[in-house]
Amino acid sequence: MSKPIPHFTLLGFAMLMWASDAIAQGEQNLTIFGSIASWPPGKTTFVSAIESNGLRLRHTRIEDEACGARDFLEFDGPIGPDTGAIVEPLLNAMQPCGASPIRGTVILSSGGGEIADGYVLGALLSRYNVATAVMQGQVCASACVAAFLGGSPRYMLDSAWLVLQSPYRSPGIGIDCENAQQADELRSYFAARLGSEPGALLHERAMSNCSAPRGWTIAMEEGKELAIVEADSSPLERQLADGSLNFMADNAARPGVVTTASGLQYEVISLGSNTDASAPASSSPAASSPTASSRVTVHYHGTFVDGRVFDSSVERGQPAQFPLNQVIPGWTEGLQLMKAGDKFRFFIPPELAYGEAGRGPVPPNTPLIFEVELLEIAGAN
């Protein structure tokens, strides 16, 4: 990604785990098939869906200010001889965004299938002029990789995996590396999809890893080096953004909301007995407010801007304790404006939260809202 992603430590791991549970139970249909990521709330329409022999397909549409809507096809499951016939009507229903020549994006999650069926599906995706993507938490193996290479452009996000060649000892998954005809077919397909030089390099690497026990697993950075995927994934990330970035500008105009120099917004819900209500939060003496090196105990309630809860110590009935310099910047800055007993509501822009990459159930470029009650302040770490 273009910049480091701020992170929680003790609190953060808990937040992401519980948030994932909340999404799965409360908004399961917003989870991208096979991924840990979710579609943006309030902006997503599911046009149609098909399930057949373990294969799940869903035509998904996201509102887009620039062109009205962007189309995606979610693909999750095995690739077989009938897959192309099942997929084609959904590809045909996808519409390009404005004047773009690209019909939409196919998101692939699959353990594979016969490599020849992957060739057929990849050629179909190329003919329909779609982009392809593998999202956070997804694995695209063997025949799926062949299909993936049929897209242009091709994107991978962090924590996504390609398994380019499964062991030849597993018939029906990869190729028989000792079979010259199958090796030549693989070389020809790579050249057709990527061009002669990148295709030859990929073929050479695939064959050298062909008998590896778990195949050749490729992460995002290696995929970029091999020219399998785009070096810049920000166009896809922008398409998947929450779309609620205007929320911060609109919210800043509300009475009672204060915006700091960094772009953090907050409003006071209630003040503790040690807080002077006549003084602005930013003028609180350092001795009675936490510093960046303090350890704090808080109750908090985190939501997206549509009100959907993704994490809450209040709902769990257990306060959280953590060092203030090891959480996202919005928390580090915001809690230093408080005193013990205060309760604030923070509106945190993406650049002070999880930024361009998102994290777990938090989509890229997503503002977050936290109600925070500061219970206790301890000394420096």
Q: Indicate which residue of 117, 354, 369, 377 is catalytic.
A: 354
CA distance 72 to 134: 12
Give, in degrees to the nearest 5, the angle at Cα 174 between 171 and 178: 80
CA distance 371 to 381: 24
* Residue whose token pair is 């499951």: 77
- Among this protein's residues, is 300 annotated catalytic? yes
- Among this protein's residues, is 304 annotated catalytic? no
Looking at this protein, which amino acid is placed at residue 281? A
Beta 131-134 vs 68-76: how paired, if at all? unpaired
- Among this protein's residues, is 218 annotated catalytic? no
Q: Indicate which residue of 36, 218, 228, 328 is catalytic.
A: 328
- Among this protein's residues, is 354 annotated catalytic? yes
Beta 343-348 vs 309-312: how paired, if at all? unpaired
What spatial distance separates the first Cα and last Cα of the chain, rounded to whole Å? 30
The single-letter DSSP state of residue 204 is: H
- Among this protein's residues, is 155 annotated catalytic? no
- Among this protein's residues, is 342 annotated catalytic? no
157 — phi, psi (to 5°)?
-110, 165
* Residue whose token pair is 């040690």: 274
For residue 268, the cross-strand partners are 344
Q: Indicate which residue of 189, 247, 322, 370 is catalytic.
A: 370
Q: Indicate which residue of 71, 242, 311, 342 is catalytic.
A: 311
Q: Indicate which residue of 300, 304, 344, 347 is catalytic.
A: 300
Q: Indicate which residue of 75, 190, 310, 346 is catalytic.
A: 310
Catalytic residue positions, numbered = 300, 310-311, 328, 354, 370
